[in-house]
Chain A
């Protein structure tokens, strides 16, 4: 099974700033996913990141707000840009391996 790490594990940020979240996987994977989990809510898919191509964003999410990089098959970053308090959430990275989805521990973001 894939082992996923994320940095940072948590952060408190000022309104208007940006934060880049890193996701590292211990094996090569084709697709990586970024989810948002707002307080008390379920997981919402932000985008799918394939290596060597532009990320595919779900409805309600745009590249200018959540730019994603996927430089190789084991790493991805998600940037939360121009943050507002509404962006306070847990952001999770995940991968699919053998038809199962594995999740990182998440990055808990608080925007003040």
Chain B
């Protein structure tokens, strides 16, 4: 069965600082990997996805993620965080069914 681990429940960064959110997955074959963002009171928005090819994936809002098969990881990064990035971030993995399994989420807090 597929699973996702997001080891950090909360992350606090200062505005302008760099950000890395961790995600580890378990899946028997080549996974499809996703990062979603959920702002307060909002639905989920897809930030980026990895299906195949280049392991460094660019997404919206200046985010990127790197797929590392050897580490079963798909960490999300941003070089400079903005106050509007404060939200809940979910990593997800899926296979051929395209139905993802979500991690528990990481809450990003941005200090001015």
**Interface of A with B (CB < 8 Å)?**
4, 33, 41-43, 45, 48, 92, 94, 96, 99-106, 108
Question: B43: which of A48, A99, A106 is its contact (CB, 8 Å)?
Answer: A106
Question: B105 an interface residue at 8 Å Cβ cutoff?
Answer: yes
Q: In angstroms, how far is the closest chain B Cβ from the Cβ of A36? A: 12
Q: Chain A residues with Cβ under 8 A from B27's Cβ?
A: none
Q: Are A105 and B43 in contact (CB under 8 A)?
A: yes
**Interface of B with A (CB < 8 Å)?**
32, 34, 36, 41-46, 49, 51, 90, 94, 98-100, 102-105
Q: Are A41 and B43 in contact (CB under 8 A)?
A: no
Q: Are B43 and A92 in contact (CB under 8 A)?
A: yes
Main secondary structure of the interface of A (DSSP, over half): strand
10 contacts across the A-B interface (CB closer than 8 A): A4-B43, A42-B105, A43-B90, A43-B102, A48-B99, A92-B44, A99-B51, A99-B98, A100-B46, A101-B34
Q: Are A99 and B99 in contact (CB under 8 A)?
A: no
Q: How far is the CA of A4 from the CA of B45 in the complex (A)?
A: 12
The winner among A4, A102, A103 for most chain B CB atoms within 10 A is: A103
The winner among A4, A48, A101, A106 for most chain B CB atoms within 10 A is: A101
On whether A99 and B32 interact (CB within 8 A), knowing A33-B99, A48-B99, A92-B43, the answer reads yes
Question: A103: which of B43, B49, B51 is its contact (CB, 8 Å)?
Answer: B43
Q: Are A41 and B104 in contact (CB under 8 A)?
A: yes
Q: Chain A residues with Cβ under 8 A from B99's Cβ?
A: 33, 45, 48, 96, 101
Q: Chain B residues with Cβ under 8 A from A101's Cβ?
A: 34, 46, 94, 98-100
Q: Chain A residues with Cβ under 8 A from B102's Cβ?
A: 42-43
Q: In angstroms, how far is the closest chain A Cβ from the Cβ of B32? A: 7
Q: How far is the CA of A4 from the CA of B42 in the complex (A)?
A: 13
Question: B49: which of A45, A96, A100 is its contact (CB, 8 Å)?
Answer: A100
Q: How far is the CA of A96 from the CA of B96 in the complex (A)?
A: 12
Smallest CB gap from B51: residue in A = A99
